[in-house]
Amino acid sequence: MSVAFGMRHGAAPRVCSACGAKSRADRPRCLRCGASLAGSSVETQPAPSTGTSRALIGAAAAGVVLVCGAVYALHRPDPPKAVAAAPGPAAQPATAAQARAVDAAAAPANGSLQHGREALLGGNAAYKTGDMTGALASFERAVDANPTDPEALNNLAQVLERGGRASEAIPLFRRAVALDPDRWSYHFNLAHAISRTGDWNGAIAEYREADRLFPDDHVTLFNLGLALQKTGNHAGAIESLARAVALAPDEPDFLLALGQSYLAAGHPEDGRRTLEQYLTLAPASHDAALVRALLERAGP
């Protein structure tokens, strides 16, 4: 499906026609693939709202909003690296092996498999056109026909989450992870869904799994850093966000988040330097005046 990062509440994002990533409407190029967003479609469904990093440094920072979250592309390839499967919730099998054993008992016949794949393709096509009702119905049929298909489970979960049903999506994401524990995007999507419930420690654990699978993904690192901010772990946030900035040095939102954590952690020189870099890159942004006020409060 699509990635959403650094977006404001209420702003309809643009969907990159090249990779399906979602970006702020005022961004000229896609952060994920670098393609031009000129002429790209505007997201018709409400973007996920997973929480914000607000007022980290006091009143001067109030209104500086960073949205932590991303729902990743259906067809995004994963790097070929493996990690251990994340543990499932109490109601789910405790290990990936147990999950596979449970699912094997319900393995569908060949005809059902074909029906499931057709439903999955139909769901993908519906999602691409913005038909979330059609996508939901198709993915539900795909999962019913083939409950052992991690792609169908993942895609159904993403549609549910986009519809504000994160608690229903999480068990499906966990099943997808248990069935295919080496898939970075499944861990990433699970982390995003967990973050929407306010369980920041749970989200951090899954973002770390995603980072272990794909250590050079700046969006994973950005979301991990924001989740760490929510727990007050600014030292950890600095480490993650600094890696994100190193991978995507021209992304202003990454610098803004890093600068906030530097100041919150008691590193004013690093904070000022980073926020000044933000203003150099985005002098006319919606947050520029607030960042200037934050710099004044931080002192020389």
Q: What is the pLDDT of residues 43-74, one digit of tens each?
A: 433 332 222 232 232 222 222 223 333 333 34
Residue spans of the domains in the chain: they are: 89-181
Model confidence band, residue 110 (pLDDT cutoffs 50, 70, 90): low
Contact 5, 223 (CB under 8 A): yes
Cα distance between residue 108 and residue 85, in whole Å: 24
CA distance 299 to 276: 13
Banded model confidence at residue 176, pLDDT cuts 50, 70, 90: very high
Residue 5 pLDDT > 90: no
Mean pLDDT over each residue of the chain, to the nearest integer? 76
Q: Token pair of 288, please? A: 């520029």
Under CATH, which number does the domain 89-181 receive?
1.25.40.10
Cα 105–Cα 155–Cα 88 angle in degrees, nearest 5 = 55
Higher pLDDT, 104 or 263: 263
Q: Region 184-199: what's the mean pLDDT? A: 96
Question: pLDDT class for 128, splitting at 50, 70, 90?
Answer: very high
Average pLDDT rounded to a whole number, residues 169-188: 96
Of residues 20 and 176, which shows the higher confidence score? 176
The pTM assigned to this predicted structure is 0.70
pLDDT over 70 (residue 79): no
As a whole-number percent, the residues of the chain with pLDDT over 90 amount to: 58
pLDDT of 93 above 80: no
Which one, of 69, 75, 76, lies nearest residue 46 by Cα?
69
Rg (CA), the chain: 20
Inform me whether the pLDDT recorded for 100 exceeds 90.
no
Q: What is the pLDDT of residue 85?
A: 32
* pLDDT value at residue 45: 35
Among residues 45, 68, 66, the alpha carbon closest in space to that of 196 is found at 68
Question: pLDDT-derived band of residue 37, with 50, 70 and 90 as boundaries?
Answer: confident
Q: Residue 91 pLDDT more than 70?
A: no
Are 23 and 80 spatial neighbours (Cβ–Cβ below 8 Å)?
Answer: no
pLDDT at 35 over 60: yes
Question: Six-digit token pair at 53?
Answer: 């990093």
Please indicate whether residue 86 or residue 40 has the higher confidence score (pLDDT): 40
Looking at 19-23, 64-68, 102-106, 254-258, which range is the least confident one? 64-68
